[in-house]
Amino acid sequence: MMQENEKYHAEEFFLKNFNIDKVFHSIKRTDYMFLYYIKHCEETSTLKSGVYLSELAEAMQLSMPDISKAIQKLYDRGYVKWKTDAEKERTYVELTNKSIELMNDQRNMMQKYYSEISEQISPEDMEITLRTMHKISDILKEKENTLG
């Protein structure tokens, strides 16, 4: 049985050590992640500008209803434009100027933080840390898969 102080240690471990939301100032982390995928999917999309929802769902390994809900939230915040390809009768999205500006601001902030981290942590320590974080992430994903 887990002792009381171990319970608190576990809670602090996840709340304090893996709270990377602190890095995101301009935009929410989840919004940034969706916008990031939209931007990168545009590069391989058959569209001149934008990305089909089905392409985005495949890239993010999410269902169409989940993608649609997330895109609706991004639309409500003014981050994307919904469009319809009349020729193919398919829905797609494009990034707005607002989202591009916010992403650029956030990317600059992340680059600044990463530079500061790189200056203070040796490449060897960084490699060990990242390897350990990936192991932790894999363990948590495995646990999630066994539960769900």
The number of beta carbons lying within 10 Å of the beta carbon of residue 85 is: 13
Cα 1 from chain centroid?
36
Residue 105 has pLDDT above 90, yes or no: yes
- Dump pLDDT digits (tens) for 72-87: 999 999 999 998 888 7
In a domain, 105, yes or no: yes
Rounded to whole angstroms, the Cα distance separating 57 from 138 reads 22
Rounded to whole angstroms, the Cα distance separating 112 from 127 reads 19
Cα 78 from chain centroid?
18
**What proportion of the chain, given as a percentage, has pLDDT over 90?**
51
In a domain, 1, yes or no: no
Backbone angles phi, psi at 80, to 5 degrees: -135, 160
How much is the average pLDDT of 127-142? 90
The number of beta carbons lying within 10 Å of the beta carbon of residue 28 is: 14
Which residue is associated with the tokens 């709340």?
A: 15
Residue 77 domain boundaries: 25-120
Alpha helix (H) ranges present in the chain? 4-17, 29-42, 53-60, 64-76, 97-120, 123-147
| Predicted pLDDT at 71 | 96
In a domain, 6, yes or no: no
In a domain, 3, yes or no: no
In a domain, 34, yes or no: yes
pTM listed for this prediction = 0.78
How much is the average pLDDT of 89-97? 92
Total tally of structural domains belonging to the chain: 1
In a domain, 128, yes or no: no
- How would residue 18 be classed by pLDDT, with cut points 50, 70 and 90? low
CATH number assigned to the domain comprising residue 49: 1.10.10.10
In a domain, 94, yes or no: yes
Token pair belonging to 96? 């707005």
